[in-house]
Structure 1
């Protein structure tokens, strides 16, 4: 609500004009007391219908606060749904987004609570999907994935549970593929190359046991390929 609306909120006002906002679908400007310079308040179509905010309707000051609060909650939820249309979001990401959109913290948390109840915001499910996808698509190990989940606002225990769910054999296979791909580009003596490869995989978040196995197998396969084929003699 604008300053004019706040000033006039101390007394009953009568809606004298309703105009749809061109750039905001389903939202309407309400003008009161024949004042057309600027709208008294803007509300969503659902709120307008719920409170019967049509031309000629009188709004009591006690009712105005409830209308504004209901519209803010509705807008927060609608923005949340729109934001989820791009990809799944965490509680933290949603809260930050709604804050950027000017939604107050209380209304944002109410909207997020509703989205959680509807399973549209689910940090545990998000964490599991994120970890599995990044392991396969970006060759990142569980330790780095755990850090990335924490950076996205996922609780420590939830992040740990999600990464602990990762298939150990798949993680080892991913680490091995990364090691095989990296090995030919590492320079130096054999021992130095081995340490560099281990460091590379550790930085990608793979556990020490996985790294040792992947490095050992990658080097074994590389050496096997370098051996001359006895059948050629």
Structure 2
């Protein structure tokens, strides 16, 4: 048995207390506890404490510290169970304590993977241009079950997907005005697929984009791209060979033969 001889408040953390014990060899520091543990065990001077009780208090305090870390981590935003477990593992919490903390957080409705998934999807709809396939991938990486991810993605209706994808496509085409119209369309299609939009949404967007390029804009893009190509090949070829290299390169960039022939006539024959 040990006698509790003194309780002092920690200087840097007023919510924690140092417990001093005497095991028959004089007073010495025993351990520290949070205020909640102090109250729970009704610790006071001259109490007799056996080793089992001391060990129980230490374990309870360790769990409390880890629980407090988890609560603080949750205060910034909702978390998945995997995120909480990974975080506590990084903080070197005991695996058994992690299980206990996760169970407590679930009981207190502070940890719910379905609600987490729903919230993440709603947030991404408002703040990002990601499509549903990327959102599902993100959720699964955060430890959410596939069925829960699918349920959360019901919030991302076809109409919402189309609206976001079309807005992105229009912005993309405006920013890619220096490219050929065909290349702009191809880039929009590839990028929307990369962003996780499904084929039916992508096809609907493409079907509602302008069907024909603006002739003047297309010509300006051809001149810009063509001059770059000319500078690249002029040191390596000339005459017919140069024209063929320019024609092939401009075709790969999506320009029509009419536009290419006009460029070659105006810029390569002079």
Q: Same fold (TM over 0.5)?
A: yes
User: What is the CA–CA distance in structure 2 between the aligned matches of 1:136 and 1:218, rounded to whole Å?
Assistant: 23
Query: For the structure 1 residues 181 and 16, does the alpha-carbon distance in structure 2 shift closer, same or farther, using more than 3 Å as the test?
Result: same
Q: Could you list the per-position Cα deviations for residues 123-172 of structure 1 after superposition, in whole angstroms to 9, with x for gaps in the alignment? A: 10110110121122111110000111112121222112211332221111
Structure 2 unmatched runs, 5+: 218-270
Maintained 8 Å contact 1:142/1:164: no
Maintained 8 Å contact 2:121/2:155: no
Residue 85 of structure 1 and its aligned partner are, at CA, apart by 1.2
SS in 2 for 1:55: coil
Match of 1:103 among 82, 90, 93: 93
User: What is the CA–CA distance in structure 2 between the aligned matches of 1:23 and 1:97, rounded to whole Å?
Assistant: 24
User: What is the CA–CA distance in structure 2 between the aligned matches of 1:63 and 1:212, rounded to whole Å?
Assistant: 68
Partner residue, 1:9: none
Q: Which moved more, 1:159-168 or 1:186-195?
A: 186-195
User: What is the CA–CA distance in structure 2 between the aligned matches of 1:118 and 1:62, rounded to whole Å?
Assistant: 29
Alignment of 1:51-130 (within 5 A): 51-130=41-120
User: What is the CA–CA distance in structure 2 between the aligned matches of 1:221 and 1:106, rounded to whole Å?
Assistant: 64
Residue 59 of structure 1 and its aligned partner are, at CA, apart by 1.2
Query: For the structure 1 residues 149 and 101, does the alpha-carbon distance in structure 2 shift closer, same or farther, using more than 3 Å as the test?
Result: same
Partner residue, 2:208: 217
User: What is the CA–CA distance in structure 2 between the aligned matches of 1:221 and 1:15, rounded to whole Å?
Assistant: 87
User: What is the CA–CA distance in structure 1 between the aligned matches of 2:108 and 2:42, rounded to whole Å?
Assistant: 28
CA RMSD between the two structures: 2.0
> TM-score when scaled to structure 1?
0.83
Maintained 8 Å contact 2:117/2:148: yes
Residue 221 of structure 1 and its aligned partner are, at CA, apart by 10
User: What is the CA–CA distance in structure 1 between the aligned matches of 2:212 and 2:77, rounded to whole Å?
Assistant: 39
Partner residue, 1:199: 190
User: What is the CA–CA distance in structure 1 between the aligned matches of 2:114 and 2:11, rounded to whole Å?
Assistant: 39
Number of aligned residue pairs: give it. Answer: 211
Structure 1 unmatched runs, 5+: 1-11, 227-233
Residue 218 of structure 1 and its aligned partner are, at CA, apart by 3.1
Maintained 8 Å contact 2:8/2:18: yes
Residue 222 of structure 1 and its aligned partner are, at CA, apart by 8.0
Maintained 8 Å contact 1:139/1:174: yes
SS in 2 for 1:103: coil
User: What is the CA–CA distance in structure 1 between the aligned matches of 2:61 and 2:40, rounded to whole Å?
Assistant: 10
Maintained 8 Å contact 1:198/1:211: yes
**Bigger RCO of structures 1 and 2 (CA < 8 A, at least 6 apart):** 1
Maintained 8 Å contact 1:99/1:105: yes
Q: Structure 1 residue runs of 4+, over 4 Å off?
A: 220-223
Q: Which moved more, 1:142-151 or 1:39-48?
A: 39-48
Partner residue, 1:5: none
Residue 68 of structure 1 and its aligned partner are, at CA, apart by 1.8
Partner residue, 2:145: 155
